[in-house]
């Protein structure tokens, strides 16, 4: 009986030793998991990102007014501005674990504008316009610094301006209406933003977002005599789809 008790005592000691070792390993793994899990955005972080932005304007032309003989020609005009994809760059700074501000810029895309009027018909490629829209957006991130997925809502402002406007030299009607110059006024516009960041590890991430910009501008076209100049409000209700790869430091 004593030998049997001794046998069981030895086995219990071995079992307890193994359990103790297992507990140590488990605690180490838990600590490692907790350390590696804290890889979401936190206060003080800076994230630089690069990717692609798809810019999709929905164009609405208001009533156009002509100072010369072309009022009938511009009545009821409609326009369409092409969707374009360009390089997008951003810098996000986290002020708290949940609140950050992001500055975005990109390579200005050149967009094509088609014009149609009831009196003169369709004019594809009536003009080419370079668009610039740097923005600053405040963002609120849901969840915590332990989360791999961080959805967010954003609200900000963008300065929208139009450059290098070229009218179609091969379209006689367009040249009559704007052969002596064309311009679109710059404006500040709100930015409404929603998106999500997927944290690959403690440095790299992928983000996807949708932004809406209700852009308003005043269009001015200076035509050849006696067609005069044409002015009117144009709305470019723009939806941007953005995918970027980010690096945190």
* Structure confidence at residue 31 (pLDDT): 45
* Structure confidence at residue 216 (pLDDT): 96
* Structure confidence at residue 170 (pLDDT): 94
* Core vs surface per residue 63-82: b (16+ CB within 10 A) or e: ebebebebeebbeebebbbb
| Rounded Cα gap, residues 101 and 83, in angstroms | 27
119: part of which helix (H) or strand (E)?
none
* Structure confidence at residue 171 (pLDDT): 95
pLDDT band at 14 (very low <50, low <70, confident <90, very high): very low
| Rounded Cα gap, residues 34 and 183, in angstroms | 57
* pLDDT above 70: residue 116: yes
* Structure confidence at residue 40 (pLDDT): 80
* pLDDT above 50: residue 29: no
Q: What is the mean pLDDT of the chain?
A: 88
pLDDT band at 204 (very low <50, low <70, confident <90, very high): very high
Average pLDDT over residues 117-135: 96
DSSP letters spanning 141-206: E-S-TT-SEEEEEEEEEEEEEEEEEEE-TT-HHHHHHHTT-EEE--EEEEEEEEEEEEESSSSEEE
* Structure confidence at residue 16 (pLDDT): 52
**Cα 141 to the center of its chain, rounded Å:** 16
DSSP letters spanning 188-215: EEEEEEEEEEEESSSSEEEEEEEEEEEE
The 3-state secondary structure of 23-46, one letter per residue: HHHHHHHHHHHHHHHCCCCCCCCE
* Structure confidence at residue 46 (pLDDT): 97
């Amino acid at each position: 009986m004593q030998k049997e008790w001794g046998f069981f005592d030895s086995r219990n000691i071995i079992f307890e030793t193994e359990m103790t070792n297992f507990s140590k390993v488990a605690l180490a793994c838990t600590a490692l998991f907790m350390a590696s899990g804290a890889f979401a955005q936190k206060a003080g972080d800076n994230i630089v990102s690069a990717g692609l932005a798809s810019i999709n304007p929905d164009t609405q032309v208001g009533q156009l007014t002509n100072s010369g003989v072309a009022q009938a020609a511009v009545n009821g005009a409609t326009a369409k501005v092409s969707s374009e994809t360009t390089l997008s760059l951003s810098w996000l700074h986290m002020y708290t674990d949940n609140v950050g501000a992001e500055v975005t810029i990109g390579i200005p895309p050149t967009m094509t504008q088609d014009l149609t009027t009831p009196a003169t018909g369709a004019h594809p490629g009536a003009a080419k316009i370079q668009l610039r829209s740097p923005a600053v957006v405040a963002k609120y991130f849901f969840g915590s610094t332990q989360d791999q997925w961080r959805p967010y809502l954003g609200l900000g402002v963008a300065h929208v301006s139009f450059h290098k406007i070229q009218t179609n030299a091969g379209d006689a009607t367009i040249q009559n209406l704007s052969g002596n110059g064309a311009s679109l006024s710059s404006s500040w516009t709100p930015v409404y933003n929603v998106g999500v960041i997927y944290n690959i590890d403690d440095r790299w991430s992928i983000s996807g977002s949708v932004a809406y910009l209700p852009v308003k501008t005043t269009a001015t076209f200076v035509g050849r005599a006696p067609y005069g100049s044409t002015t009117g409000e144009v709305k470019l209700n723009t939806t941007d789809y953005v995918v970027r790869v980010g690096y945190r430091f």
